[in-house]
Homo-oligomer: A and B are copies of this chain.
Amino acid sequence: MNDEFQSPLLERAVTELSRLPGIGRRTALRLALNILRRDLDDATALGNAIIDLRRDIRYCPVCHNISDEGTCRICSDPTRDGATLCVVENIRDVMSIERTGQYRGLYHVLGGVISPMDGITPDQIEIASLSDRVAAGGIKEVILALGATMEGDTTCFYIYRKIAAAAPGIKISQLARGMAVGNDLEYTDEITLGRSLMQRTLFADSFSI
């Protein structure tokens, strides 16, 4: 492939760009040629934005959402309802729920879901810290807002048992199954997602059927 590009620099840029999700070598070449046409300042800004993002990003020690420094904006916001906790898989899900404008509580970002297929066990995601957070008191409801997938359901059930044991009186709900089964949160439109949030059901009810 090296000879095709006539340049190891271009070859390297195309290889690196094509490692991004959904970017094939053809698209990567188009991006690289676009970068070549730009000012050096522009290209440097893009390159550094990528490096700085990965190197300098921090995570909120409370909810594990991204945060440029210390506790995140949502956890630090005194107007939000500290008695409600929404458990999500990743930071993109936080953004999705924030965009619905339907939620004023706090979050807990797991950083993944339990997936025996991918070798992801409960101790690799933020479940222990969730238990601790709930056990510390002050939380009245935990909303399980995970994807309607096998892994999401498994994780919901695992968390339900953990929390029910750690803090027996707590209300545990989950997103209404208005979303299409098999879909992840990111592919659900805002209206459907907002509705699923408003019509959340008691977790215990879902397996009594």
Contacts and interface: CB of A to CB of B under 8 A. Distances in A.
A9 B65 contact: no
A36 B4 CA distance: 31
User: Which secondary structure characterizes the binding site on chain A?
Assistant: helix
Interface of A: 3-10, 12-13, 15-17, 19-23, 27, 29-36, 38, 40, 42-57, 65-68, 72-74, 90-92, 94-95, 98-99
A112 to B, nearest CB: 10
Given A50-B46, A54-B44, A68-B7, A21 B31 contact: yes
Number of copies: 2
Contact of A95 (B5, B47, B65): B5
A35 to B, nearest CB: 6
A122 to B, nearest CB: 19
B20 A40 contact: no
A113 B62 CA distance: 56
Nearest to A52: B9
